[in-house]
Structure 1
Amino acid sequence: MTDATKDDLQKMPLLDHLIELRTRLLYSVGALVVAFIGAWFLSEDIYRFLVKPLADILLEIGVEQGEARRMIFTNLTEVFFTYVKVSFFAAAFVTCPVFLGQVYRFVAPGLYKHEKAAFLPFLIASPILFFIGGALVYFAILPLAWDFFIQFEAPGSSDSLAIQLEPKVNEYLSLTMKLIFAFGLCFQLPVIMTLLARVGIASSEGMAKKRKYAIVATFVVAALLTPPDPISQISLAVPIVLLYEVSIYMAKLVEKRRRQREEELDRELES
């Protein structure tokens, strides 16, 4: 894109920008609605998938104790609205690349070629990192956390009642989605910090100096976002600390490329 073309786009009337924004929003919402309808027909299967980490543990305990285990609901509409939440959750997850793609298509006409090349990797990395964070919590954190809490069950006796878990459908889904979103968002750290480094708000040197504060903040955030057990908290905090180190390395690469571009520009001006 030439400078003149970019200037013409920047001079585009506000109404045209709003129309373009509306178009991108309509595409995004349309994709979300279509995905929601499709997910609704699979909502039971999706919920079974989400509940499997707990179901495997409870079914194993049920076999050992010779009794059936179950999940309960205490409101007539609870299961229905839980399936609605499941469908929306799945639709949002699937259409996330569509939303990001529409954002890119909206801002791309106002970017230079090298700016597009710099922005596109972040667009690709964001959903991939979110998926990795969600997969980590589902396959690693949830089984460990649920096994930890199940240990608090206690058998009854002649003078005491049994303490037995009967999880609610809605509460289980809410907790599971909260953990998946928390891990997915925390895994966006390299993307966010690298973008901040590109615009000059953050630097690799500054992040390195504040490393100890970042580690403390990481464990505080992990304590707030995860169940109150040390396994879940450490399982979230350690990857975030590692991702913070990755962010420092990515910021160094960004700064190195910026210096190279500035040196090339200086040489062109001198020649």
Structure 2
Amino acid sequence: MPLLDHLGELRRRLTIVIVTIIVATVVFYFAAPTVIDVLTDPIAPFVDGEFYVMSALGGFSLRFSIALKTACVVCVPMILWQILGFFLPALKPNERKWVVPTLFIATALFFVGAVFCYFFIVPPGFEWLINETNSIATAFADLENYLNIEVLLMIGFGVAFELPLFVFYLAVFHIVPYVTFRAAWRYIYVAMAVIAATVTPDANPVTMIFMYAVLLSLYELSLFVTRFVIIAREGKAGLKGSRVGFFSDEDDEE
């Protein structure tokens, strides 16, 4: 396709994404009270169920903010599909069969990460933060502030759970050989510590430690699966990236 046609296709897909998110935001604006009840449930025990809105416009801005963030999260499958769909024409037929599994796995990993954060990260994280505040003053539960931190944490963990897919494709396509990931493990571990400290919005050591532990676990799990797949497909020589690519000539013929 000529460049202008590519730009037209990109504009069409961006329009679909934006319009879908706007419609979803309107829907979730009216459902915001229910969504807020769900989000505050793991935090409420630590503030005796008392939350406060600090300004006259606070209720409107909070509902709109929660509606927009919820719409973006719910629309993740559609957003990923539009991204993959834009690059689909550039793929070979044997590569296109990976698009649907990739979409499914990426979506599942994102929501698993968000749910994991909701149940296992938010309660201890907020308990630590509120206890720290109560040790020197009375914690005043600003609802907007608390929910913004919680939602950002859930999105951060959702994105972090995409790490196995990212590492898998880098290795199996030999963009970065498997042996390079293994050889550079010290630098990768340090980089993940920096990422964990950067993406957690509350500067809370509890959530940072949890994030770091999750990143390390996902990284090692992704390398384990990647090693198994490469050896099964290409033999041990594939671990060094000695093959031209993950897909063989037989696949091209298929």
Report the TM-score range of the alignment, normalised by the length of the smaller protein. 0.7 to 0.9
- Count residues with an aligned counterpart: 241
1:190 maps onto 2:168 in alignment: no
Q: Which residue in 2 is equivalent to 1:34?
A: 23
Shift of 1:263: 10
Q: Secondary structure at the match of 1:53?
A: coil
**Which structure: larger Rg?**
1
Contact 1:28 1:102 in 2 (8 A): yes
Contact 1:78 1:169 in 2 (8 A): no
Contact 1:196 1:202 in 2 (8 A): yes
1:248 maps onto 2:228 in alignment: no
Q: Distance in 2 between matches of 1:232 and 1:110?
A: 40
Q: Secondary structure at the match of 2:42?
A: helix
Q: Which residue in 2 is equivalent to 1:136?
A: 116
Equivalent position amino acid for 2:140 in 1 = E
Q: 1:90 to 1:229 in 2, by over 3 A?
A: closer
Q: 1:47 to 1:95 in 2, by over 3 A?
A: same
Q: Distance in 1 between matches of 2:167 and 2:66?
A: 31
Q: Distance in 2 between matches of 1:185 and 1:123?
A: 14
Shift of 1:56: 2.6
CA displacement, residues 73-105 of structure 1 (integer Å, 9 cap, x when unaligned): 333222211111100111111111111112222
Q: Which residue in 1 is equivalent to 2:174?
A: 200
Q: Which residue in 1 is equivalent to 2:96?
A: 116
- Match among 205, 208, 223 for residue 233 of structure 1: 208
Shift of 1:17: 2.2
Matches within 5 A, 1:4-83: 12-59=1-48, 70-83=50-63
Q: Which residue in 2 is equivalent to 1:147?
A: 127
Equivalent position amino acid for 1:215 in 2 = Y
Shift of 1:70: 2.4
Q: Distance in 2 between matches of 1:29 and 1:112?
A: 29
Q: 1:201 to 1:111 in 2, by over 3 A?
A: closer
Identity of aligned residues (%): 27
Q: Distance in 2 between matches of 1:250 and 1:186?
A: 17
1:85 maps onto 2:65 in alignment: yes
Q: Distance in 1 between matches of 2:9 and 2:196?
A: 39
Q: 1:153 to 1:115 in 2, by over 3 A?
A: closer
Shift of 1:164: 1.4
Q: Distance in 2 between matches of 1:117 and 1:230?
A: 42
Q: Which residue in 2 is equivalent to 1:224?
A: 198
Shift of 1:229: 4.2
Q: Which residue in 2 is equivalent to 1:179?
A: 153
Unaligned runs of 5+ in 1: 1-11, 60-68, 156-161
- TM-score, length-scaled by structure 2: 0.83
Equivalent position amino acid for 1:102 in 2 = Q
- TM-score, length-scaled by structure 1: 0.78
